[in-house]
Amino acid sequence: MKRIETRAITVGNVQIGRQDKVIIQSMTNTRTKDVPATVEQIHKLEEAGCEIIRVAILDMEDAHAVSEIKKQIHIPLVCDIHFNPDLAIASIKAGTDKIRLNPGNIENEDKIKEIVNLCKERKVPIRIGINAGSLNKKYEHSEENMIASARDHLKILEELDFHDICLSFKSSDPLECIKAYRLASETFPYPLHLGVTEAGGVLNSAIKSSLALGNLLLDGIGDTIRISVSDDPVEEIKVAKKLLRACGIRKDVPNLISCPTCGRIQYDMLPITKQMEAYLENVNKDITVAIMGCPVNGPLEAKRADIGIAGGKDSAILFKKGEIVETIPQDKIMETLIHEIEKF
Amino acid sequence: MKRIETRAITVGNVQIGRQDKVIIQSMTNTRTKDVPATVEQIHKLEEAGCEIIRVAILDMEDAHAVSEIKKQIHIPLVCDIHFNPDLAIASIKAGTDKIRLNPGNIENEDKIKEIVNLCKERKVPIRIGINAGSLNKKYEHSEENMIASARDHLKILEELDFHDICLSFKSSDPLECIKAYRLASETFPYPLHLGVTEAGGVLNSAIKSSLALGNLLLDGIGDTIRISVSDDPVEEIKVAKKLLRACGIRKDVPNLISCPTCGRIQYDMLPITKQMEAYLENVNKDITVAIMGCPVNGPLEAKRADIGIAGGKDSAILFKKGEIVETIPQDKIMETLIHEIEKF
């Protein structure tokens, strides 16, 4: 899946842009100054597959916590700063790998220069995050004005010869996201961080994000993504990985195919589907697993699955790439599948 | 949201095609012959918003149950038949509103003629369902061959001057669905029933279906949809409604926007978000409700929400269209919101 070429930026040791890979991000919901809690959450996110993590910097205590957090984590850290340039300066000095800051919101020109100089010196990129809900008051609400607002912020950085930039154009409306990011992709050379914001809980966000981000990703737009979820941020990573897999952008995420429930199913398939989905959350392999409802059509219908089972009235059959391998008892389905997935 | 013009068909009292509305379907997972269980499930699906229901017809007992089921339900019924023409004939005589049947799979020409004549007489449309996993063996697996296979089946019906047809091109691979349906939309005048099949549990299916169906729907392709879920079919309806709302195709579904969790949130927002999402499942209004994390940015960021709250440390504020209405105690958030939604 080819991506539209953008400039590359480097956040810590992670490249964003100018590659076919799409980087998965999330954000902590701990108090950043609570270092043990923040580090613990980041570790869980790393384990789930998060590649860059953002923390909110609300005060100097948060900014100073960054250096200690950085020592204990293994992925690049982004500091999210609103309005206060001193928090940006402190975060950069504390070792952040990237900042999210809209320079147009900082009135003190000297402070902007100081931030940009520090960013240049330490190779810290800046993300300008345009949010449809908080556009500068001079602009009426529209996608075109989201682009115009980005241009205002960009001008400040570009005039200081700073180009180590990433852009985002989030909205809570998936259709607005699609339009804004398409315009941005035509307008700017910078890599794009995709997200539908304020998208609700896991399921609501999965629907809105898959609709909007999926639409963009399939056209090669987007270099990094965040699925915003009102829940444990680990859920954001799970949805992001599944979406990138469904888009054909990532391969190291298992794919489960399973029959919809229908009157043809001959055994209690749902508990097995749920157990298998839970098990696959922690598998990082390019494997397609099928849980099929009937032994007659199952193996053929799921012939592209690497491994699958189709339950019958008393027993189940195990198949690989559509070929039946063996008949197994119903109560051995999970353990047989896990064994096969482990050795795959 | 304009849809690509297709021929209209009428299933019972429900039109599919040649309109901007996209019809939501589901399928029962009861034994069809178990009339009380099937009717009970259909009633739940009707209540959730299902507009057409499909049942599997595995034998004559199932086919004969159709007339009794029809008496007790309020939405059109589709009978799903594989291979056996007598089951199709019995289902039509029992009063089904539509059949899903691939005529190329029936070898007896007289039986096909009998089915088509009965369908003409009783104005029963036929859905030809091409499934990537069970393509006719003469075809290698490809989207083009899914179209070719549809053409084979169609030819049989068209030669009998039957055009009361709907088509589907399901695959477990969302990208294959997108390609096949796009080709179909360019090729055939018939309305299209969209679905990603064998899509897994609720979350997996929501991601794959929103990616594929969303991509098609936003380009005006698709007249009716099913979200295939390995779970309670009521979940299929919930996802379908949310997706159609997110696509701007349906308005009578509430929209929840809520902050992603981040370090800025000043109160325990998640339980309220979850309660509100659950409450909104049963509301059929064009309303956007916002649950925001901080009282400073919340009302502005969610200014397009009809009603919203933003929680602070001790109290919360209620706002409408970005204007603060009143300050309320934390423990009155849910009851205040529900009161406002009821009178909206």
pLDDT tens-digit readout, A147-172 = 999 999 999 999 999 999 999 999 99
Residue A66 CB-density burial (10 A; 0-12 exposed, 13-18 middle, 19+ buried): buried
Give the mean model confidence (pLDDT) for residues B231-250: 96
Give the mean model confidence (pLDDT) for residues B232-250: 96
pLDDT at B294 over 80: no
- pLDDT at residue B214, as a whole number: 98
- pLDDT at residue B295, as a whole number: 72
Domain A255-343 = CATH 2.30.110.10: no
Query: What percentage of chain A carries pLDDT values higher than 70?
Result: 99
Amino acid at A247: C
Amino acid at B150: A
Q: Which of A25, A7, A203, A97 is nearest to B246 (CA)?
A: A203
pLDDT at A133 over 90: no
pLDDT at A263 over 90: no
Q: Which of A230, A273, A297 is the closest to B259 by Cβ?
A: A230
Query: What percentage of chain B carries pLDDT values higher than 70?
Result: 99
How far A10 CA sits from the closest chain B CA (Å)?
Answer: 24
Q: Which of B69, B67, B334, B24 is nearest to B195 (CA)?
A: B24
Across chain B, what does the average pLDDT equal? 93
B310 with B294: CB under 8 angstroms? yes
CA–CA gap between residue B263 and residue B158 (Å, rounded):
62
Are B256 and A32 in contact (CB < 8 Å)?
no
Q: Name the token pair of B286.
A: 């064009």
Are A210 and B215 in contact (CB < 8 Å)?
no
Which of B172, B275, B289 best probes binding to A when mutated, by most A CB atoms within 10 angstroms? B172
Question: Domain B9-246 belongs to what topology?
Answer: TIM Barrel (3.20.20)
A231 with A252: CB under 8 angstroms? no
- φ, ψ at B17 (rounded to 5°): 95, 160
Q: What is the pLDDT of residues B92-131, one digit of tens each?
A: 999 999 999 999 999 899 999 999 999 999 999 999 999 9
Give the mean model confidence (pLDDT) for residues B34-53: 98
**How far is it between the farthest Cα atoms of chain B?**
76
CA–CA gap between residue B303 and residue A248 (Å, rounded):
36
Residues of A in contact with B308 (CB under 8 A): none
Residues of A in contact with B262 (CB under 8 A): 27-29, 56, 80
- pLDDT at residue A135, as a whole number: 83
CA–CA gap between residue A256 and residue B196 (Å, rounded):
13
Adjacent-strand bridge partners of B255: B288
Are A203 and B232 in contact (CB < 8 Å)?
no
Q: Which of A41-55, A233-247, B13-27, B129-143 has the lowest mean pLDDT?
A: B129-143
pLDDT-based confidence at B240, cuts 50/70/90? Answer: very high
- pLDDT at residue B162, as a whole number: 98
pLDDT at A276 over 70: yes
How many contacts does A have with B, using Cβ atoms within 8 A? 224
Domain boundaries of chain B, sorted by first residue: 9-246, 255-343
- pLDDT at residue B83, as a whole number: 87
CA–CA gap between residue B333 and residue B317 (Å, rounded):
9
pLDDT at A1 over 70: no
Adjacent-strand bridge partners of B292: B310
- φ, ψ at B85 (rounded to 5°): -65, -30
pLDDT-based confidence at A134, cuts 50/70/90? Answer: confident
Residues of B in contact with A200 (CB under 8 A): 256-258, 273, 277
- pLDDT at residue A290, as a whole number: 93
pLDDT-based confidence at A265, cuts 50/70/90? Answer: confident
Q: Which of B29, B134, B261 is the closest to A262 by Cβ?
A: B29
> Helices B60-72 and B35-48 sit at what angle, rounded to 10 degrees?
50
Q: Which of A199, A207, A290 is the closest to B243 by Cβ?
A: A207
- pLDDT at residue B1, as a whole number: 62
B58 with B86: CB under 8 angstroms? no
Helix (H, G, I), strand (E, B) or coil at B240: helix
- pLDDT at residue B315, as a whole number: 86
Complex ipTM, two decimals? Answer: 0.95
Give the N- to C-terminal CA distance of chain A in Å, as an integer: 25
DSSP, res A196: B
DSSP code per residue over A109-128: HHHHHHHHHHHHHHT--EEE
Are B198 and A260 in contact (CB < 8 Å)?
yes
Are B302 and A172 in contact (CB < 8 Å)?
yes
Q: Which of A54-58, A69-73, A271-275 has the lowest mean pLDDT?
A: A271-275
Strand positions, DSSP E, chain B: 9-11, 14-16, 23-27, 52-56, 77-80, 98-100, 126-131, 165-170, 193-194, 224-225, 255-258, 288-292, 307-311, 315-320, 323-329
- pLDDT at residue A293, as a whole number: 82
How far B221 CA sits from the closest chain A CA (Å)?
Answer: 14
pLDDT-based confidence at B304, cuts 50/70/90? Answer: confident
Cβ partners under 8 Å of residue B92, min gap 6: B79, B99, B115, B118, B119, B122, B124
Residue A47 CB-density burial (10 A; 0-12 exposed, 13-18 middle, 19+ buried): exposed
pLDDT at A315 over 90: no
pLDDT at A296 over 80: no
Query: What percentage of chain A carries pLDDT values higher than 90?
Result: 81
How far A258 CA sits from the closest chain B CA (Å)?
Answer: 4
Q: What is the pLDDT of residues B58-99, one digit of tens each?
A: 999 999 999 999 999 999 999 999 889 999 999 999 999 999
